[in-house]
């Protein structure tokens, strides 16, 4: 086993000569490099598929808009069914779940799945982004590398944040926004210990992107018209608009997802979703794929090129028809994106959010300029700020939105309007929706990590670690004498669960309940367990109650022990002392 010996020697050298802090710094650089490579490869594979399709197909043929999305989704379906055996799902929620309940352990198959499913989905017209799959793959690589090198849970969580930051930094070439994204979305602590690895990963990933792609940028635009104080009200209006649009984005996502879940057949979802996407692409071609070209054309003022060839081309000499089509993109981008997911496609929501925000921002700018009141604003600036507004609302990440748009435009001339619009959008969405697309399901199950350390400790705690099973079970028909001989005399506990023969829980007996009669031999045969048993003050349900709920039950009842029910059967007890001990241990881990 030479390989095993080498691996052990490597670990020993690491423990002897490299401190934990310096080892984390080295790993953050390596993970940034790998995240950059992942992002570049996924992007190039996707663009390669798009180039092949454009080279060998006639894009003036309307039927292609109906056929290509179905082909892409069908290829993903075949890959998932026969090769991966597991659907990819949403990247960020899966990572958040792994952080809260799996100690940051992500299955190694997630390292490679996005390289196949995401390019097939997006390359054939799926209206989703590539950032989510890039983050998923990079995070899985980071997690498995951490396992291989025996990294503890806390450091593994930080390195997964480094992977996410690296993917964003590589795609957008925006290292500061990447760091803030990791902190806002993954609820990492904003300390020097976490900030430096995130910074090193982001810089490493950006350098990787520059090495492979040169100085190529996603948005070929520089701000030339600076912010005017007279435009403040208009940016507030844009903030309100993007706030309500972000609520629409989130609600339409959950509504369409729920609708498709009613279709039991995966093939049925594929066909219906593919046809729906094709129909939307026929009327609104910019919904095809990610949509970066659409955003660039809008910022450069090329409205007709941004809209492409539509059935309404003969009416595009009217600015109001252009505005109407842009409103259509604003409304249908969220629908097309969610339909792609629901039909079995793989992708992310961040870039579709940017597309929708750019369209809405451009609409607001055009309406202001064409109302006839003599106002004149920069439509390009509104396009940019609209993206920030929608990101802030949809992701509940206003700082990420502000710095991302500021960085990708190469300057901070729009910093004030970005802050105005992003904060307004975030406030409106936060008041309308408690959770985002990423966090809603996890939060409802009590599985979401936040910046609240007390709640985080309860979230990562595992019920199995505090359940005690060394209790002797009694039965209702058992006599007092039998109970004393087979239960009390053989147990070191002062608590006894009472169950039926099939394991169903019916009550408990405390030693105090029988203390006054346990030496009265006249009652040994005339009384039974049923005489003394009573119901516990509360129950703990194994697959339903979160640790927060369990802690609340102890607090509300004042009980020292509560029974655990699993699959309607008795499973064990949780004691308050063991629960608090486990809580204290986890709290030390979080704050150390």
Q: What is the pLDDT of residues 548-578, one digit of tens each?
A: 899 999 999 999 999 999 998 999 999 999 9
Q: Please enumerate in sequence order all residues whose Cβ is within 8 A of that of 45, keeping only pairs 6 or more positions apart, or say none.
A: 115, 119, 123
Residue 304: inside a domain, yes or no? yes
* pLDDT, position 399: 95
Is residue 63 scored above 70 in pLDDT?
Answer: no
Q: What is the pLDDT of residues 379-433, one digit of tens each?
A: 999 999 999 999 999 999 999 999 999 888 765 788 999 999 999 999 999 999 9
Where is the domain boundary, 213, 242, 275? 213
Convert 46-66 to b/e letters by CB count within 10 Å (16 or more is b).
bbebbeebeeeeeeeeeebbb
pLDDT band at 451 (very low <50, low <70, confident <90, very high): low
Q: Which SS3 state, helix, strand or coil, does residue 559 take?
A: coil
Of 172-176, 297-301, 312-316, 361-365, which range is least confident?
312-316
Looking at residue 247, which CATH number applies to its domain? 1.10.3080.10
Q: Which structural domain range is residue 504 located in?
A: 455-591
Same domain flag for 190 and 240: no
Q: Which SS3 state, helix, strand or coil, does residue 204 take?
A: helix
Is residue 590 scored above 70 in pLDDT?
Answer: no
Same domain flag for 380 and 470: no
Of residues 89 and 178, more confidently modeled: 178
* pLDDT, position 460: 80
Closest to 159 (Cα-Cα) out of 315, 30, 52? 30
> What is the length of the chain?
592
- Percentage of the chain with pLDDT > 70? 94
* pLDDT, position 1: 39
Is residue 303 scored above 70 in pLDDT?
Answer: yes
Residue 473: inside a domain, yes or no? yes
Of 89-103, 115-129, 133-147, which range is least confident?
89-103
- Tokens 């004042």 locate to 558
Looking at residue 560, which CATH number applies to its domain? 3.10.580.10
Count of domains in the chain?
Answer: 3
Same domain flag for 35 and 129: yes
Q: What is the pLDDT of residues 318-352, one digit of tens each?
A: 899 999 999 999 999 999 999 999 999 999 999 99
Same domain flag for 328 and 313: yes
Q: What's the CA gap between 566 and 312, in Å, rounded?
A: 60
* pLDDT, position 214: 77
Same domain flag for 282 and 366: yes
Asked whether 402 and 425 are in contact (CB, 8 A), the reply is no
Residue 223: inside a domain, yes or no? no
Count Cα neighbours of 415 within 13 Å in the Cβ-side half-sphere. Answer: 6
* pLDDT, position 488: 87
Q: Please enumerate in sequence order all residues whose Cβ is within 8 A of that of 471, keeping only pairs 6 or more positions apart, or say none.
A: 491, 493, 495, 496, 497, 572, 573
Q: What is the pLDDT of residues 496-509, one digit of tens each?
A: 999 998 999 999 99
Q: What is the mean pLDDT of the chain?
A: 88
Same domain flag for 468 and 446: no
Q: What's the CA gap between 588 and 49, in Å, rounded?
A: 50
Q: What's the CA gap between 380 and 271, in Å, rounded?
A: 38
Q: Averaged over 258-280, what is the pLDDT?
A: 91
Q: What is the pLDDT of residues 42-54, one digit of tens each?
A: 999 999 998 888 7
Q: What's the CA gap between 249 and 440, in Å, rounded?
A: 14
Question: What helix, strand, coil percent values describe the chain, rounded to 5?
Answer: 65, 5, 25
What are the distances in angstroms from CA 482 to CA 277, 477, 478? 71, 10, 6
Count Cα neighbours of 248 within 13 Å in the Cβ-side half-sphere. Answer: 17
Where is the domain boundary, 408, 434, 454? 454
* Chain centroid offset of residue 5 CA: 38
* pLDDT, position 61: 54
* pLDDT, position 133: 94
Q: Which SS3 state, helix, strand or coil, does residue 390 take?
A: helix
Q: State the Cα torsion 570-572-574-575 to the nearest 10°.
A: 120
Residue 496: inside a domain, yes or no? yes
Is residue 57 scored above 70 in pLDDT?
Answer: no
Same domain flag for 57 and 197: yes
Closest to 125 (Cα-Cα) out of 321, 241, 275? 275
Residue 3: inside a domain, yes or no? no
DSSP-assigned states of every residue in 489-548? GG-S-SEEEEE-TT--EEEEEEHHHHTTTTT-GGGTTT-BHHHH-B--S--EETTT--HH
Number of H helices, E strands in the chain: 25, 6
In 235-348, the DSSP E strands lie at none
What tokens does 418 get? 């970005």
Asked whether 224 and 52 are in contact (CB, 8 A), the reply is no
Residue 478: inside a domain, yes or no? yes
- CA triplet 553, 558, 559: central angle to 5 degrees? 80
Same domain flag for 207 and 113: yes
Same domain flag for 20 and 60: yes
Where is the domain boundary, 159, 182, 213? 213
* pLDDT, position 3: 57
Q: What is the pTM of this model?
A: 0.82
Same domain flag for 201 and 234: no
Same domain flag for 271 and 295: yes
Is residue 591 scored above 80 in pLDDT?
Answer: no
Same domain flag for 570 and 499: yes
| Alpha-helical segments (H) within 20-152 | 20-56, 63-79, 91-101, 113-123, 131-148
Residue 1: inside a domain, yes or no? no
Residue 80: inside a domain, yes or no? yes
């Amino acid at each position: 086993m030479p390989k095993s010996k080498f691996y052990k020697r490597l670990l020993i050298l690491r423990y002897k000569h490299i401190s934990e802090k310096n080892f984390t710094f080295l790993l953050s650089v390596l993970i940034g490099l790998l995240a950059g490579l992942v992002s570049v490869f996924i992007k190039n594979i996707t663009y390669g598929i798009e180039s092949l399709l454009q080279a060998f197909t006639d894009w003036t043929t309307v039927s292609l808009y109906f056929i290509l999305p179905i082909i892409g989704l069908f290829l993903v379906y075949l890959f998932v069914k026969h090769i991966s055996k597991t659907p990819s799902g949403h990247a960020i929620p899966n990572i958040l779940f792994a952080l809260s309940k799996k100690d940051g352990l992500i299955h190694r198959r997630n390292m490679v799945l996005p390289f196949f499913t995401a390019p097939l989905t997006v390359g054939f017209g799926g209206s989703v982004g590539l950032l989510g799959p890039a983050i998923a793959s990079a995070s899985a690589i980071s997690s498995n590398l951490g396992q291989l090198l025996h990294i503890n849970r806390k450091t593994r969580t930080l390195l997964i944040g480094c992977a996410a930051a690296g993917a964003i930094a590589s795609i957008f070439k925006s290292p500061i926004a990447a760091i803030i994204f990791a902190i806002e979305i993954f609820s990492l602590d904003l300390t020097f210990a976490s900030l430096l690895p995130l910074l090193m990963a982001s810089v490493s990933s950006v350098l990787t992107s520059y090495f492979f792609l040169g100085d190529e940028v996603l948005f070929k635009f520089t701000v030339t018209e600076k912010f005017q104080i007279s435009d403040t009200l208009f940016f507030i209006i844009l903030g309100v608009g993007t706030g309500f649009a972000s609520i629409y984005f989130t609600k339409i996502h959950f509504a369409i997802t729920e609708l498709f879940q009613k279709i039991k057949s995966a093939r049925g979802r594929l066909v219906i979703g593919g046809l729906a996407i094709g129909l939307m692409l026929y009327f609104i071609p910019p919904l095809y794929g990610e949509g970066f070209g659409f955003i660039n054309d809008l910022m450069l003022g090329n409205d007709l090129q941004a809209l492409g060839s539509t059935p309404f081309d003969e009416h595009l000499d009217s600015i109001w028809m252009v505005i109407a089509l842009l409103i259509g993109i604003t409304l249908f981008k969220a629908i097309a994106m969610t339909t792609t997911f629901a039909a079995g496609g793989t992708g992310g929501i961040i870039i579709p959010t940017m597309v929708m925000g750019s369209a809405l921002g451009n609409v607001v700018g055009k309406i202001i300029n064409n109302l006839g009141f003599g106002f004149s604003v920069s439509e390009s600036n509104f396009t940019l700020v609209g993206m920030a507004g929608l990101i802030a609302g949809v992701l509940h990440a206003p700082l990420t939105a502000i710095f991302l748009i500021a960085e990708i435009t190469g300057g901070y001339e729009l910093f004030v309007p970005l802050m105005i619009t992003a904060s307004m959008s975030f406030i409106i969405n936060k008041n309308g929706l408690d959770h985002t697309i990423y966090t809603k399901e996890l939060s409802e199950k009590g599985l979401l990590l936040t910046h609240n350390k007390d709640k985080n400790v309860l979230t990562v705690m595992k019920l199995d670690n505090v359940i005690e099973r060394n209790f002797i079970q009694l039965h209702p028909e058992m006599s007092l004498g039998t109970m004393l001989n087979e239960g009390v005399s053989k147990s070191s506990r002062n608590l006894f669960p009472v169950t039926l023969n099939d394991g169903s829980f019916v009550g408990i007996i405390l030693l105090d309940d029988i203390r006054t009669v346990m030496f009265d031999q006249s009652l040994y045969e005339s009384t039974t367990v049923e005489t003394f048993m009573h119901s516990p003050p509360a129950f703990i349900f194994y697959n339903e109650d979160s640790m927060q709920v369990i802690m609340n039950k102890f607090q509300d009842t004042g009980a020292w022990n509560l029974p655990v029910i699993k699959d309607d059967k008795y499973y064990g007890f949780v004691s308050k002392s063991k629960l608090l001990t486990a809580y204290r241990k986890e709290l030390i881990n979080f704050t150390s």
